[in-house]
A = this chain, B = another copy of it.
Amino acid sequence: MSTCIPVVENILSANDRLAAENRAIFDKAGVFAINLMASPGAGKTSLVERTVEGLAGRLRLGVIEGDLASSLDADRAAAAGAAAVQINTGGECHLDAVMLHAALPQLDLKSLDLLIVENVGNLVCPTSFKLGVHCNILIASTPEGDDKPYKYPGSYRGIDALVINKIDLLPYVDFDMQNFRRGVEMLNPGVMTFPLSCRTGEGLDAWLDWLAAQVKNRA
């Protein structure tokens, strides 16, 4: 089984090369690209919907949805008003730069300000595969529990911002915000954090304003 190691390394470096190409494409088109990662059901697609609705009129948005199967998420993003493309990974547990590269021609990137890439629901594998985006964002979710930074440290280390979704459920779940934040701080000191509820809308404005500012700063 040791023969697998160089093969995996080769795949990763091929992936990194294509991630750099993706970045060059984004920069040439003048589009700011973000990668949303989370466990299944943490609220990635709900955040996409709220972000598309909330930035309508301020920014032109495109969405690329990564899933093992179905076009449910792209349908939701399109219904919210974005140009949306679905990638079905056919069982692969993450998006990689190759899949993203293949999907890019389906969008008119020059007509967009912000491209949201929604990764496969998985708190482990997506962090190992660069996509070429400008910003990696993790969504945690209160019903998942406050121990996740301790148990999935890799997914908290490499991110540029953290969304804590489903804060409307805090009265009904056992989630110790202090313990959670202590774990995050150990792994990623000072990371920008947005507690919010996609369901009630609480906290969304801070997220939308920050994201819009990121896009403006890179333009």
A residues near B (Cβ < 8 Å) are 1, 3-4, 7-8, 10-11, 14, 39-41, 67-70, 72-73, 91, 93, 120-125, 141, 143-145, 147-148, 150-154, 166, 168-169, 172-174, 199
Contacts and interface: CB of A to CB of B under 8 A. Distances in A.
Given A7-B3, A72-B150, A125-B125, A169 B143 contact: yes
A121 B172 contact: no
A142 to B, nearest CB: 8
B123 A69 contact: no
Contacts of A41: 39, 141, 143-145, 148
A8 to B, nearest CB: 8
B121 A68 contact: no
Given A67-B151, A124-B125, A173-B169, A14 B1 contact: yes
17 contacts: A3-B7, A4-B4, A39-B41, A40-B123, A40-B148, A41-B141, A41-B148, A67-B151, A68-B153, A70-B147, A72-B147, A72-B150, A73-B151, A93-B93, A93-B125, A169-B169, A174-B199
Nearest to A169: B172
B4 A144 contact: no
A72 B149 CA distance: 12
A162 B111 CA distance: 45
A143 to B, nearest CB: 4
**A-B interface, 4 closest residue pairs, ranked by CB to CB distance from nearest:** A41-B144, A93-B124, A143-B143, A39-B40
Contacts of A11: 1, 4
A211 to B, nearest CB: 23
Contacts of A68: 124, 151-154
